Amino acid sequence: MGSNAELKARREHAVAHGVATRGIYAARAENAELWDVEGRRYIDFAAGIAVNNTGHRHPRVMAAVAEQAAAFTHTCFHVAPFEGYIRLAERLNAATPGDFAKKTMLVTTGAEAVENAVKMARAYTGRSGVIAFSGAFHGRTLMGMALCGKVAPYKKGFGAMPPEVYHAPFPNTYHGVTPDQSLAALEELFRSSIDPDRVAAIIIEPVQGEGGFNIAPASFLRDLRTLADAHGILLIADEVQAGMGRTGRLFAFEHADVAADLVTLAKGLAGGFPLSAVTGRAEVVDAAPAGGIGGTYAGNPIAVAAANAVLDVIAEEELCARATAIGARIMTHLRTLSDRPGFQAIGDVRGLGAMVAFELVTDRAARTPDAALTSRIVAEAEARGLILLPCGTRANVIRLLPPLTTPLAQVDEALSIIDLALEAAFAVSSAAA
């Protein structure tokens, strides 16, 4: 298999430069642990970027996959449909917020789900405009890039974006944008840039992922629902990263008691297998003509079997409650750390359930981002056996995404590593100063 260094050299010669990677080459993984090709163990607080909410290789998921693989692996749902797809659609229709008739389509990636949600919204409303938010991430396809509220690396160098996509500031009080200011900006957008009668949908992440784990206030989501209704605009909830129990509820929009017209899902939906979904109002989902949505691999039978097992695991192992408990443990620890002398670089600690982040700054008062310190902390943690991920439009946020099945002893072990990584990174910063 080779060493990490050997595989890195092979990757540099064989894999596209634009596919960013880390230096850990995986050999095996189990629940919240991962071992590289050199036998080194890591606690995985990336979880495949919120994919492995049920942990690596959960036994229930693997058993469902093995059973499906023994029957058939692919038929293409358009050619030979199967019961598992229908059952999963029924379950998602019942689980997503909203007391109205719903339907579901399955695809493969989060970006595909977003693309199809936009297509449905346009088909239903007969309008073409779409509004997203600053700091948003909605995928790397052409429409996904247009919706993203972060230029580098997602839009940089890729030319013109699709038309009639607009952005409003995401409510972020820590950086001086109140919910009222965000709503006022939307109203100004309607006055200056696009008639609301031309807007098909507003799409929002209830907790921004790549944008820095910024949490949309519940009151803002309720006001956004009211605003959308006033203009006949559909509301799309992008639950790709925040969904499937991650925030302590099956869907993050539930914290605000808001029902979106369309919900996009992926990542944690199928426990490590590629699957995504759009679930929403039946009349909206049905607006596309027969054959207008779908795909060859959309709703792959093995991934669908995994997703049905994931829903079972989330319910039976009470993973929403566990996400709340894990998140509270992490938040308490990080906030205690931020109060310690010498830890002033931790400017903010925020989270919802087990979707937690801390933001690094050079000055707490000015809230000046410290991207260099962020990179050092991630590297120091990795050197000590903990996988962390940076994020944020200013590359100065560290996000923690432990599997919701992580044993509490491993959560505590990871927090101890974070302590050591912070101390080491701060020492380098002080020496450099």
pLDDT digits (tens, 9 = 90+) for 171-208: 999 999 999 999 999 999 999 999 999 999 999 999 99
C-alpha to C-alpha distance for 287 and 278, rounded to whole angstroms: 13
pLDDT score, position 262: 98
Total Cβ atoms within 10 A of residue 363 = 12
- The closest alpha carbon to 50, from 393, 403, 310, belongs to 403
Rounded to 10°, the helix 83-95/301-316 angle is 40
pTM of the model: 0.96
Q: How far apart are CA 411 and CA 45, in angstroms?
A: 9
The yes-or-no verdict on residue 429 having pLDDT over 70 is no
When pLDDT is averaged across residues 344-361 and rounded to a whole number, the result is 98
To which residue do tokens 């009151």 refer?
Answer: 219
364-417 pLDDT, tens digit per residue, is 999 999 999 999 999 999 999 999 999 999 999 999 999 999 999 999 999 999
Nearest-CA neighbor of 333 among 318, 322, 346? 346
pLDDT of residue 253: 98
What pLDDT score was predicted for residue 430? 60
Residue 101 has pLDDT above 70, yes or no: yes
Contact criterion met (CB below 8 Å) for 352 and 215: yes
pLDDT at 156 (0 to 100) = 87
Q: Give yes or no for residue 433 having a pLDDT over 80.
A: no
Map residue 253 onto helix, strand or coil: helix
pLDDT at 371: 97
Work out the percent of the chain whose per-residue pLDDT is above 70.
Answer: 99
What is the band of 215 on the pLDDT scale with cuts at 50, 70, 90?
very high
Confidence band for 155, pLDDT divided at 50, 70 and 90:
confident
Which residue's structure tokens are 């925030």?
247
Q: Is 264 in contact with 277 (CB distance < 8 Å)?
A: yes
What is the pLDDT at residue 327? 98
63-78 CB burial, b ≥16 within 10 A, e <16 = ebbeebeeeeeeeebe
Which amino acid is present at 301?
P
Reported as a single tens digit per residue, the pLDDT across 30-74 is 999 999 999 999 999 999 999 999 999 999 999 999 999 999 999
Across the chain, mean pLDDT equals 96
- pLDDT for res 159: 87
Say how far apart CA 247 and CA 172 lie, in whole Å.
18
pLDDT at position 112: 97
Q: Provide, rounded to the nearest whole percent, the portion of the chain with pLDDT above 90.
A: 94
| Phi, psi torsion values for 72, nearest 5 degrees | -165, 150
Q: What is the pLDDT of residues 271-300, one digit of tens each?
A: 999 999 999 999 999 999 999 999 999 999
Domains and CATH numbers, the chain: 4-58+318-432 (3.90.1150.10), 72-316 (3.40.640.10)
pLDDT at residue 160 in the model: 87
**pLDDT mean over 216-235:** 98
